[in-house]
Amino acid sequence: MADGTWNAVELTGTAGAAPLVLVCEHASRAIPPELADLGLDAAAREAHVAWDIGAAVIARRLSEHLEAPLVAGGVSRLVYDCNRPFTASDCIPARSERYDIPGNRDLDEAARRARFERVHEPFHAALAEACRRQERACGRAIDLVTIHTFTPVYNGVSRAVEIGYLHHEDPALAQAALAVETAHGVYRAALDEPYSARDGVTYTLARHGEAHGRRALMIEVRNDLVATHEAATRMGDHLAQTLREALAAVPPPAEAAP
C-alpha cells in the first residue's frame, strides 16, 4: 500500500520449502490512523472482536516448525474481514456480538468498495501468489492450512470444545487431523466446531484450496488456551506435530488445478 498505513498482508517464512502454505487472516488488530480507531475504545480494540487472540503466534510457530510460508493479515478484521467475500453482510461488520462498531455504520458503496480494494484484494493476491510459488518450487499440489481462535463463551453460550478442525467440502484433512488429535488425548477436539462451512467461514479454504485441487484445513483454537505468548507458542508446538501426522496420513493430489 502506497501510504504505508494500510499494510494489508504480512509474509513470513517465504524461504520454507514445505508443500504447504499457512494463512492467518485475523492476525492483527491494527486499524489505519485515518479510520480514527473505528470509534472504538482501547478495550474493544484489544478484544477478540478485533482479531483472533493468539492466532498469529501459533501461525508463526507452525511456520518455523513446518518450514512453510505464512500469509497473515496486517489489519483488523473490523476494517475488512479477509475471510469473507465482498458480498458477505459481515465483511465490514457494524456490530459484532456485543460490540457496536461506529466507524463501520452507514458506509456507502464507495466506502465499502475502498476497504475491499485496500485490504481484501492485496491480501488475496499475495496468498494466491504464495500458493503458486510454493507449487512451482515443490512440483506438486500444496496444502492450505488457516489458523484461527475463538472465544470460550459466545452470546452467553459456553463452548466445551478446545480445538476445532474445519473443512469446506472435502473433509479428508480435517478428519485426519481430528483422528490424530483424538489419539494424542490432550485437548477436547471436534470436527466442524465451533463453526462450519454453513456459517460462511470457509471462504479462504474454498477460494485458495479446493478450487485449485488443494487439500485445505481450518484450525480453530479456544483463545483462553493461548492468552499469553508462551501458551500460544506451546500450542503451536503441539499443532505442528498434529499437522505432520495428519498431512502424512492423507495422500496429496498429484497436481493443482490452474
The whole-number pLDDT of residue 3 equals 47
For residue range 91-136, list pLDDT tens digits in order. 999 998 889 999 999 999 999 999 999 999 999 999 999 999 999 9
Strand 99-100 relative to strand 95-96: parallel, antiparallel, unpaired?
Answer: antiparallel
Q: Cα–Cα distance between 160 and 138 in angstroms, integer?
A: 39
The whole-number pLDDT of residue 96 equals 86
Q: What is the mean pLDDT of residues 74-101?
A: 96
Residue 75 in contact with residue 25, Cβ under 8 Å?
A: no
b vs e for 141-172, b when ≥16 Cβ sit within 10 Å of the residue's Cβ?
bbbbbbbbbbbbeeeeeebebbbbbbbbebbe
For residue range 153-202, list pLDDT tens digits in order. 988 899 999 999 999 999 999 999 999 999 999 999 999 999 999 999 99
For residue range 202-251, list pLDDT tens digits in order. 999 999 999 999 999 999 999 999 999 999 999 999 999 999 999 999 98
What would the 3-class secondary structure string for 168-181 be? Answer: CCCCHHHHHHHHHH
Per the structure block, which three cell numbers stand in for 246? 495428519
pTM: 0.95
The whole-number pLDDT of residue 155 equals 83
What average pLDDT does the chain have? 95
Domains and CATH numbers, the chain: 9-249 (3.40.630.40)
Closest CA to 62 of 256, 247, 187, 251: 247
- Number of neighbours of residue 19 by Cβ within 10 angstroms: 18
Could you give the residue ranges of the DSSP H alpha helices within 140-205?
172-184, 203-204
